[in-house]
Structure 1
Amino acid sequence: MLLQHLITFCRVVEEGSFTRAAQVQNLTQPSVTKQVGALEDHLQVQLFTRQGKQVHLTPAGELVYDYARQVIHLVAQCEAAVQELRSPGSGSVTVGCVHTIGLFTLPDLLAAFVREHPRVKINVRTGNNRETVAMLLHGEVDLGLITTPQVHERIDVIPLFEDPLVAVASPSFAADLPPVLGNADLARLPFIGYVRGARFRNTIDQILEEMGIQPKFVMEFDNHEAIKTMVGLGFGVALEPVSAVQRELDGGQLVRLNVPGLPRSSRTTSLILRRGERRSAAVNAFLALLERRYAVAINPAP
């Protein structure tokens, strides 16, 4: 069983077809079919079922895919470790994170890290919390940054900072509001928020329900940037994580509304690491930056 067979097998899974897998690897389709067939012969299982041009993993295929991704990552780790040995101060760090962290928290961290370690290559992969955990477990990222609690036997979770929710509006919109907003005042205002069904929207709905407010959402979006833009243009108010709006608050594009009845609510941004895994010098350097920035202690790897 060759490493290339595992790589080709994963490409078929991820592309959804033998044809596209051949294209992205610059191979012929018969070559891809032959490699997957050799893998099936070696393991003595069927990895795919075929329905027309579509391929689907068998239960055995799902198991092999999980291990194949880990094997590929371990080989990449080995290559990176050897490269660090040959050229100290180089290497790479792959960070997985949720979209809001990638937009509002990670850029400043990466800028600081690159200033200290200019020869280290940084890769970033984003997804939701569940996807970020999956990337870490499959060995596709060296570390993860998430915003929801996680408990897993293979993962260490280190809380980094609290990210409270705040009510915001544009300065012109806020100028027509009372300096202190009661729950009834807030209930009369147009809201701009996340799309229904999203985890963050569910959190907002729960907070407003606790306040006895049935909000009138006049706009809904699937990202915080669009929400901030519409709020900044004066179309309504929003409840947002302070990390997402700190730059606009500091710059005066948005103002924080005084709502004493708003329950104290925050998301905890946490670092996740694979438990007991050897880490490269580059990854340890990035973790050292997190320790200094957030005054946390990260357990050393064996």
Structure 2
Amino acid sequence: MIIEALRVFVTVTEQSHFSRAADLLNISQPGVSLHIRNLENEVGAKLLHRSPKQVRLTEAGDMLYKTAKQILSLYEGTKQDIHRLQDKVTGTIQIGASFTIGEYVLPKRLAAFAAQYPLVEMQVTIGNTEEIVQAVRANELDLGLIEGEANAADLVITPYMKDEMILIAPAAHPLASAHFVDADMLQNEVWVLRESGSGTRAFSDQFTQDAQIVQKRSYVFNSSQSVKEAVISGLGIAMLSRWVVRRELESGEMGELRLNRDRFERSFSIIRHREGAATMASDVFVQKLLLASD
């Protein structure tokens, strides 16, 4: 990048030494030499007189040094202006989120975003994955945050964080005290499930199908909160995101059934309509989601 080459050139000039410039810029001395060589090729003139003890500017180098200082100053000022502009982002973002994300993950993200961009209004719709996908496809939402699959050609799908799915049981359940369980130990249990169309339900169904687990019977609820409360009450076992149950696991209100195998992971994804008109506010929100690490 020409800006980086100019920065290296100015630093070498002011330090009168390649190795001191390399130390200041935290790059190798060959890297400094490469930047200077590329810059000389770019302007078509020798910029520096090199000697073992010091570096001196040529006539062309002296001319470029003065201009380079101005360019770098303008560049840094422009970057600051852009950052200030981003801090003044305004508008409304229509966000859709599936239940696990909307109830347990998104609130913290919204609070952080609102603190940085107080002029942006956010309206959140919570539903299951299928409902959020359909709303984004109908252009009723600027973006959706889902935990299940979305195979639609008119959507742009971007995974943004991993989620761990775990098996849970009432605290008094015989399996809750087991160090590990296997699929055979889960046969003929009562299961508490999310409704069809839920990403959590799809993941749970795939697990029981792959493990060839036969359910004694099942109860269906249309929110993860209801499933969690049903498990705590002793109704049966379930598979939910660790985000949903981590406090209850810590308090001992329920137990985790650990399978002797790898962790169950899925991705949370951002979905946007391929032909939708993205706003600056929604673009910045998506950028912040992708940068978030926890």
What is the DSSP-based 3-state SS (H/G/I as helix, E as strand, rest coil) of the residue aligned with 1:219? strand
The residue number in structure 1 matching 2:224 is: 224
Per the TM alignment, residue 95 of structure 1 is displaced from its structure 2 partner at its CA by 0.5
Matched residue type, 2:111: A
CA contact (8 A) 1:193 1:217 kept: no
Measured in 1, the distance between the counterparts of 2:202 and 2:287 equals: 35
Match of 2:273 in 1: 274
Q: Which amino acid aligns with 1:293?
A: A
Over residues 199-226 of structure 1, what are the superposed CA-to-partner deviations in whole Å (9 max), with x where a residue is unaligned? 6445423422332321223533222111
Q: Residue type matched to 1:162 in 2? A: K
Counterpart code for 1:212 = Q
Q: How many Å separate the matches in 2 of 1:277 and 1:221?
A: 33
Aligned ranges for residues 1-302 of structure 1 at < 5 Å? 88-173=88-173, 177-195=177-195, 200-201=200-201, 203-217=203-217, 219-260=219-260, 265-275=264-274, 279-294=278-293
Stretches of structure 1 lacking an aligned partner (at least 5 in a row)? 1-84, 296-302
| Amino acid across the alignment from 1:216 | K
CA distance in 2 between counterparts of 1:153 and 1:176 reads: 43
Q: Structure 2: how far apart are the matches of 1:139 and 1:293?
A: 26
Rounded to whole Å, the distance in 1 between the matches of 2:222 and 2:184 is 27
Q: CA deviation at 1:276?
A: 6.6
Partner SS state of residue 208, structure 1: helix
Question: Per the alignment, do residues 186 and 270 of structure 1 end up closer, same or farther by CA in structure 2, a change over 3 Å counting?
Answer: same
The answer to whether the Cα contact below 8 Å between 2:194 and 2:227 also exists between their aligned partners in 1 is: yes
Percent identity of equivalent pairs:
26
Structure 1 residues 158 and 118 mapped into 2: Cα distance closer, same or farther (>3 Å)? same
Alignment partners' CA distance in 1, 2:146 and 2:196: 21
2:117 corresponds to which letter in structure 1?
H
Compared CA separation, residues 126 and 169, structure 1 to 2 (3 A): same
Counterpart code for 2:236: G
Contact 1:174 1:257 in 2 (8 A): no
> 1:129 offset after TM fit, Å?
3.1
TM-score under structure 2 normalisation? 0.60
Using structure 1 for the length normalisation, give the TM-score.
Answer: 0.58
State the Cα deviation string for residues 220-259 of structure 1 (Å, max 9, x = none). 3222111101211233321112232233334443332222
Query: Match for 2:164: what amino acid?
Result: P
**Cα distance in structure 1, aligned partners of 2:285 and 2:157:** 16
Q: Aligned partners of 2:290 and 2:198: how far apart in 1?
A: 31
